[in-house]
Amino acid sequence: MKKRTLGQQGLEVSAVGLGCMGMSASYPPYPDEAQSITVVHRAAELGVTLFDTAEVYGPFTNEALVGKALKGVRDKVCVATKFGINLRQAEGKAGLDSRPETIRLVAEESLKRLGVDVIDLFYQHRVDPDVPPEEVAGAVGDLVREGKVRFFGLCEAAPETIRRAHKTHPLSAVQTEYSLWTRDPERDVLPLCEELGIGFVPYSPLGRGFLTGKIKQPPQGEDDIRSTYPRFTAEAIGTNLGLVQELKRLGQAKGRTPAQLALAWILHKGDHIVPIPGTTKLNRLEENVAAADITLSDAEIGALEKAMPEHAVAGARYDEMNFSLVNL
């Protein structure tokens, strides 16, 4: 597996990481523990070194699962987890809490669940409007100096938030949704990360599964987070399937799957970019990892972008509630 560097603080990881959320949350049905551990082990065998989790996934259970699965290879991998979504208080604005004392509490609890001595990459999961970025960065900086955290990251953060936090403590990574059908970061966040020397970690790089071409109807059940997203209504899916069909056609011409082309496209957007596709299946894991070895010409990149122009995608990526947690 090829390696890439996130930020300028020495965080080197595999070109493709593994998002572990779906093993415990958001996309049912969930696999049993043994299957999830098998997938994590195989990822490590294939050279994946960045494993992404969060205390809110489960909640709490995904960190414990990832920690258990990585025990035998801890010294060879990087574990990323997150703080900032309020899971402890009966009251709290928009479910967010990034007060310095809470950041410290979450770090201590995550270390125990993961069964590690240090968190490699500690992200603010969502920006808390009541806590200045400087305070957040300062709190994580204290944890870095104490040896409990190695590197600092932000998720779904606006450019001004990124700049302010980075001045207080250097950011190694910014994580935001980014894929062929979610191009928002190209307008300001991606250029800013390149300017400041910050790594960029796209989550949902396969459009929450849609860009694989396997989703043909709206997800069922309240536990599936996609069931509330405008992009996954029956009407939107009807429109978006046409775009994916074109992605399939281009993949067939190159002897690759739509998912592999979608990941290869992201990887060609910059050497500071490391996507973290999630999966619970061995064959999908191997398919995703193989994307790191795909070379695309400028013409092929242009064809992919023409096949799925941003303006043609039907439906917003989030519902109103989830957009309220995004720092725009």
Task: Extract the tokens encoding 220.
Answer: 């069922």
CATH topology of domain 3-207+259-294: TIM Barrel (3.20.20)
Backbone φ/ψ region at 65: left (φ over 0), alpha (ψ -120 to 50), beta: alpha
Q: Burial of 216 by CB count in 10 Å (0-12 exposed, 13-18 middle, 19+ buried)?
A: exposed
User: Residue 14 CB: number of other CB atoms within 10 A?
Assistant: 23
Domain ranges of the chain: 3-207+259-294
Phi then psi dihedrals of residue 235, to 5 deg: -65, -45
ω into 202 cis (within 30 of 0):
no
Q: Calculate the alpha carbon distances from 152 to 8, 65, 136 in Å.
A: 11, 22, 10
Position 90 pLDDT exceeds 70: no
Beta strands 11-14; 3-6: pairing state: antiparallel
pLDDT digits (tens, 9 = 90+) for 48-70: 999 999 999 999 999 999 999 99
Instruction: Give this prediction's pTM.
Output: 0.97
pLDDT at 180: 98
pLDDT digits (tens, 9 = 90+) for 186-239: 999 999 999 999 999 999 999 999 999 999 999 988 899 999 999 999 999 999
**Cα–Cα distance measured from residue 304 to residue 283, given in angstroms and rounded to the nearest whole number:** 24
pLDDT digits (tens, 9 = 90+) for 21-54: 999 999 999 999 999 999 999 999 999 999 999 9
pLDDT digits (tens, 9 = 90+) for 182-191: 999 999 999 9
What integer is the mean pLDDT of 300-323?
Answer: 95
Which helix (H) or strand (E) element contains residue 300? helix 298-307
Instruction: Give yes or no: 57 in active site.
Output: yes
User: Residue 261 CB: number of other CB atoms within 10 A?
Assistant: 26
Which helix (H) or strand (E) element contains residue 173? strand 173-177
Confidence of residue 93 (pLDDT cuts 50, 70, 90): very low
Phi then psi dihedrals of residue 256, to 5 deg: -130, 160
* Helix/strand/coil for 80: strand
- From the list 57, 123, 203, 229, the catalytic residue is 57
Confidence of residue 89 (pLDDT cuts 50, 70, 90): low
* Helix/strand/coil for 312: helix
Q: Burial of 230 by CB count in 10 Å (0-12 exposed, 13-18 middle, 19+ buried)?
A: middle
Task: Extract the tokens encoding 207.
Answer: 């459009």
